């Protein structure tokens, strides 16, 4: 299968989330540069160097900040820097558009854990091995807004009543209408027929969380673009809060109704997102450590055949009979058993994180009693190997992943920004949430191609 640009792929052959997920398109990151001839050494930029920081929440919400002290009652969001503690890109929604899959939709907030480091070349505009290690906080949000306001003074706002989809919050949507933002029926039901469940679709018995925009199936329910000849499938799932581009107000989440600046374009029904509009803290499953390395060249990863599993891209210590995975302090096979949320400070570990245990062979797992096999949840990557599969069909089980970037071309200090593409292939640990891990088929590989521009600033 071919991998798209501006797209995120994840999981093994058993992934149940229709891929790819769309990557935010307006993220901006600054790094510092030291030149030696045409070679550039890249390193992290601090919040003060990069600028662009904003308070989220509290009495100084949506105003500029440099440190947490500038945001009483809120948080200073470091939006454009590349040192440890800086955010990488806007919130990333992962809507599960599969039939009846919305409950496993999530929102990911990526934070840099060590200062960025890599090299570049100003003669070619290439970027080589730009290391940007991430902590990916994962929020199991499902669909935050089954019903939304249309028109009026609060466009896009959540108006869902206590009964969920089909019920209206009293007093919501002044001057507008509260409409279904959950699903539409497939043919032969009438185009545009709103639904909350399959029972609302008398002819098709199929309520989907997307609707076709344009084409022969316009306004009919869909899962992917393949359901929409000459059109596109737009999801109704908002797994991250939305920064409404009309009102510039947060829709859903703890900052609901507060001012915001969209962090990206309205790429689909799950966008635009903004760090001004964080997800509900109570839905946080933990933070996944991601070894994220960006390159403008070609990167590849080939699966290994291990004693207990073939086609393994990302090994973690597991019980091969139960297909469950070890959780240990510091992610070490010899570490103490722990049960805290993954990747956050854990009392059982003396404040260290509780993590799955990465491995390259069974020998790496001998100390993880009960989890002495090395493997991933399901062999392969991103697709089923079955051309008839309803989700992510493909002809072969993946053995090698290849992503090809594109350098920007010659760069001059103070010159114009030039188009470029950076790519990365990485491993994604499991969250230890059965809902998320089964849908995303984690642990497993991930791959992304980020299109944008590169510029050398004075």
Tens-digit pLDDT profile for residues 5-62: 999 999 999 999 999 999 999 899 999 999 999 999 999 999 999 999 999 999 999 9
Q: Could you give the CA distance from residue 329 to residue 339 in angstroms, rounded to a whole number? A: 9
Record the pTM: 0.95
pLDDT at 393: 82
pLDDT in tens, 55-79: 999 999 999 999 999 999 999 999 9
Q: Could you give the CA distance from residue 315 to residue 175 in angstroms, rounded to a whole number? A: 55
Are the C-beta atoms of residues 335 and 431 closer than 8 Å to each other? no
Are the C-beta atoms of residues 53 and 240 closer than 8 Å to each other? no
Number of Cβ atoms within 10 Å of the Cβ of 31:
23
**Phi first, then psi: what are they for 138, rounded to 5°?**
-115, 125
Are the C-beta atoms of residues 406 and 421 closer than 8 Å to each other? yes
Q: Could you give the CA distance from residue 14 to residue 62 in angstroms, rounded to a whole number? A: 41
Q: Which helix (H) or strand (E) holds 347?
A: none
Task: Say whether pLDDT at 82 is over 80.
Answer: yes
- In terms of Cα–Cα distance, which of 137, 133, 131, 134 is closest to 94? 137
pLDDT in tens, 252-265: 999 999 999 999 99
Please state the domain extents for the chain.
Answer: 7-45+80-141+284-300+401-454, 315-375
Number of Cβ atoms within 10 Å of the Cβ of 66:
14
Cα→Cα distances 131→40, 289, 345, 412, Å: 14, 13, 23, 23
């Amino acid at each position: 299968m071919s991998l798209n640009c501006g797209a995120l792929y994840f999981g093994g052959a058993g992934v149940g989330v229709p891929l790819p997920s769309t990557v935010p398109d307006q993220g901006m990151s600054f790094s510092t540069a030291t030149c030696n001839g045409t070679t550039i050494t890249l390193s992290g930029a601090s919040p003060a160097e990069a600028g662009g920081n904003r308070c989220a929440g509290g009495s100084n919400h949506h105003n500029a900040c440099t440190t947490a002290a500038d945001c009483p009652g809120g948080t200073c969001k470091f939006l454009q820097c590349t040192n440890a503690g800086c955010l990488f890109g806007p919130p990333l929604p992962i809507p599960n558009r599969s039939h009846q899959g919305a409950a496993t939709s999530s929102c990911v907030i990526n934070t840099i854990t060590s200062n960025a480091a890599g090299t570049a070349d100003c003669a070619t505009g290439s970027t080589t091995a730009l290391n940007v290690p991430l902590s990916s906080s994962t929020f199991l949000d499902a669909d935050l807004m089954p019903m939304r306001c249309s028109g009026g003074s609060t466009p896009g706002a959540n108006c869902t009543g206590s009964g969920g989809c089909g019920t209206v919050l009293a007093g919501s949507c002044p001057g507008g209408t509260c409409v279904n933002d959950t699903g539409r029926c497939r043919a032969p039901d009438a185009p545009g027929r709103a639904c909350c469940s399959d029972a609302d679709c008398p002819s098709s018995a199929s309520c989907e969380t997307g609707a076709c925009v344009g084409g022969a199936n316009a306004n009919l329910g869909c899962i992917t673009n393949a359901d929409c000849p000459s059109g596109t499938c737009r999801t109704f799932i908002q797994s991250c809060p939305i920064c409404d581009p009309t009102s510039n107000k947060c829709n859903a989440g703890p900052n609901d109704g507060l001012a915001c600046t969209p962090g990206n374009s309205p790429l689909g029904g799950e966008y635009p997102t903004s760090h001004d509009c964080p997800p509900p803290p109570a839905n946080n499953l933990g933070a996944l450590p991601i070894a994220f390395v960006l390159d403008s060249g070609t990167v590849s990863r080939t699966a290994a055949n291990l004693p207990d599993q073939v086609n393994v891209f990302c090994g973690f210590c597991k019980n091969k009979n139960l297909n469950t995975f070890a959780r240990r302090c510091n992610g070490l096979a010899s570490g103490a058993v722990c049960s805290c949320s993954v990747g956050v400070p854990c009392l059982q570990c003396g404040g260290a994180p509780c993590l799955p245990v990465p491995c390259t062979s069974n020998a790496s797992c001998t100390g993880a009693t009960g989890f002495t096999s090395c493997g991933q949840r399901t062999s392969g990557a991103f697709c089923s190997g079955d051309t008839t599969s309803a989700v992510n069909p493909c002809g072969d089980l993946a053995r090698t992943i290849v992503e090809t970037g594109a350098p920007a071309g010659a760069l001059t200090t103070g010159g114009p920004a030039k188009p470029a593409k950076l790519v990365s292939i990485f491993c994604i640990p499991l969250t230890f949430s059965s809902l998320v891990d089964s849908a995303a088929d984690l642990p497993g590989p991930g791959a992304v191609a980020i299109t944008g521009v590169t510029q050398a600033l004075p």
